[in-house]
Structure 1
Amino acid sequence: MKRARQVRSGVLVRGRYQGEGIGLVDDKGRVAIPSSLRTTLAANAPKADGKTGGTVIVGPHQKSKCLVAYDQGYLDILAEQLDRREAEHTGPGGEFDYNIKRRAAAGEAVPFDGSGRFIMPAFPRFYASIGEHAFFYGVLDYIEIWDPATLIAEPDIADNVKAAARFHMMQKGLTL
């Protein structure tokens, strides 16, 4: 398996999430991460015992009605970004917008197996209106997980992403 983690100039480099796919969500919320994304996730978050699988953090997106999924290593990057944003939005008297961190802090770490299967946490799944199908899309630092119909209806989503969702649904014989 190609490792997504490398060391450059003494710094560990995380693999970037690229790829997409549709996952069937069962009645218990189990879904499989598409292999193109799972390979990077497993390399970024390997199990300590060397076995396949690992941990993925899943939570609501800060702005869109979808979920984000990422490895533990992204938490430090996210916290640093949020600290900078918080400092930039601190008003007179030292008050800042507490919602900046509240939006990003709602993640839950869940295990995934060697096939990429994990149980989608209930509240995030409810928040994103994810039913029987979940569309996964890698956006370099993390993975977005969408209800396909919600993604198609979202006006701010790039046409190529909508086309990818339609394509993968069509490949499975599903219509929106």
Structure 2
Amino acid sequence: MCAISKGFGVSVRGRYQGDGIGLVDDKGRVAIPSALRTTLSANAPKANGKDGGTIIIGAHQKNRCLVAYDPGYVDILAERLDRRESENTSENGEYDYNIKRAAASGEAVPFDGSGRFIMPAFPRFYAGIKGHAFFYGVLDYIEIWDPATLIATDGMPPVVKEMARFYMAEKGVQL
């Protein structure tokens, strides 16, 4: 799904829907699946009109996976975190400093017209991503998982676990 304009010239962000598996090489290079890359490119087109752009990769605030999104989502994320912070401020004016600490990690990296980018080392280590990365669009952002970690994570929807199993079986790997 791509970003579209809707009424009064207001731009509506494209939602990240889609999934896929990417092979991760020794340097951390991986390609974003095409459905997700199309939305990413539409949400953050390059000024020169060429293919590619910037993706922000960071640790998920709860699970051992990564979150990925376009630079335009940073303002939306900051607004949500500001709201959560204000809702969790005590009478003495102290707030939970960990609200932003847990959710604000991220490193901007370029991706090319084929969706290839180099996954930053610490986030890749944090999520345990080695040879394969499972990409899953969750509307506002993309989750990137080590497939085995996803399957072992309590609370994940069964259909998402089966997606990871399916893509890995296509690669000849049983989980």
TM-score of the pair, normalised by structure 2 = 0.96
Aligned CA distance change for structure 1 residues 54 and 83 (closer, same or farther; 3 Å): same
- For residues 157 and 5 of structure 1, what CA distance do their matches in structure 2 show? 31
Q: How does 1:5-154 map to 2 (within 5 A)?
A: 5-154=4-153
Unaligned runs of 5+ in 2: none
Q: CA deviation at 1:45?
A: 1.0
| Amino acid across the alignment from 1:167 | F
Q: CA deviation at 1:8?
A: 3.0
Q: Hey, what does 2:171 align to over in structure 1? A: 172
- Percent of aligned pairs sharing the same letter: 74
- For residues 162 and 56 of structure 1, what CA distance do their matches in structure 2 show? 25
TM-score of the pair, normalised by structure 1 = 0.96
- For residues 123 and 100 of structure 2, what CA distance do their matches in structure 1 show? 17
Q: Hey, what does 1:158 align to over in structure 2? A: 157
- For residues 60 and 162 of structure 2, what CA distance do their matches in structure 1 show? 21
Give the secondary-structure state (helix, strand or coil) at the position aligned to 1:92.
coil
Asked whether the 8 Å contact 1:5–1:44 carries over to 2, the reply is: no
Larger displacement relative to structure 2 (94-103 or 7-16): 7-16
Kindly report structure 1 stretches of 4+ aligned residues shifted beyond 2 Å: 2-10
Give the secondary-structure state (helix, strand or coil) at the position aligned to 2:92.
helix
- For residues 169 and 8 of structure 1, what CA distance do their matches in structure 2 show? 42
Asked whether the 8 Å contact 1:32–1:117 carries over to 2, the reply is: yes
Larger displacement relative to structure 2 (91-100 or 50-59): 91-100
Q: CA deviation at 1:3?
A: 4.5
Q: CA deviation at 1:73?
A: 1.1
- For residues 7 and 155 of structure 2, what CA distance do their matches in structure 1 show? 36
Aligned length: 175
Asked whether the 8 Å contact 1:62–1:104 carries over to 2, the reply is: yes
- For residues 56 and 114 of structure 1, what CA distance do their matches in structure 2 show? 12
Q: CA deviation at 1:76?
A: 1.1
Give the secondary-structure state (helix, strand or coil) at the position aligned to 2:140.
coil
Give the secondary-structure state (helix, strand or coil) at the position aligned to 1:140.
coil
